[in-house]
Structure 1
């Protein structure tokens, strides 16, 4: 049976995250149920390169799925894109996956973006896509503080209490804070992240952006390895899974 790689975009607002769970609908469930219509009614397993939380969006989630139907990737993409309706899920592209390839374990680097809308007026068009803060934010101070977190560290201070990772050690390759008009964007890249790590970065750096804490404070929090010393966990709607890097390019067909 052929295995396919899928490039998936979704609005996480209506889902309880990527992974199937009893609490409510998930992206995995919606995608697997859509694929069952092409798989003789059998629900296949969909494996993702990253498990996004409830309310978190994705532009370039990569998914592996094995089906009994032997379809050209472009036909599979179109069929799955149709059957995922009315969910806000788009199958952007598909490709045949080579044997042994895994979207999770073959990944070299994952990239996320967090958006803060820093203005007094609430969002209208971007509601559910940004964290709205009605206060001025110093993105340059946030960026300077973020650079002190790069490299390989014990990120216990920035992991969720419910994090199931075996080790808090991670290598952070990028943590940039940029201004785009009224928005502040935080761009994070690493091979893998701990549960809530990016959102905890944002909540902690936000304190620096407001001038409540000095630039060196997030690094002090890191070295303290105590989650209670860090800032709040930023809300999920501002976070988006952007893309994944693999050792070899994927022959995407749209």
Structure 2
């Protein structure tokens, strides 16, 4: 499923991230939290690791689930400028999303992502590591949960893109949670139906959270000043926190 220009729109949230920047392996990363046994890796959307919204979510996860959260740069420093989240953005230069995604596809970034996750256990000593992804990252974490990989101890996928039935068939290595908006060009009704039909056959714990009236991108780029969207993004945060508490402690 191709991504479209709506992947580079949305709203900025108020607040100042409280974590710090560091480097692990070859990846610059934002870190929040102090738990030395349980970690969560956020696999970002096209806005990358510097987006304030994603960092604020990392802060919430760290504080509310008592985990250490890593938000690495998985695009080699290439990100979409956050100015595009401004509803009044009038940039003259059209963004080449297909070209961007061609340079940053799963095949190109797989080794980088998996190496980062392995390092959390082998180098930093974390006993459990979960992954949560949004849009591009949502599809990536579904692949991380494939049976036989042994990479992560839990997966949460929010309005995922760039995955298909075969990736759902491959699940089976860890508990999996889906955060699914009603209106999503990447997580189509057909793909949602396949997920709901297939998960009960996988022999794993799973959770499917449906968000009526909300659209692709709401969990990271929803309008916090719109009451319906604010409730949705807060609920998405809360269900992810509950999932982390259940499977990473």
- TM-score normalised to structure 2 length: 0.25
Question: Structure with the greater relative contact order (CA < 8 A, sep ≥ 6): 1 or 2?
Answer: 1
Higher strand residue share:
1
Q: Which has the higher helix share?
A: 2
Higher-Rg structure is: 1
Question: Which TM-score applies when normalising by structure 1?
Answer: 0.24
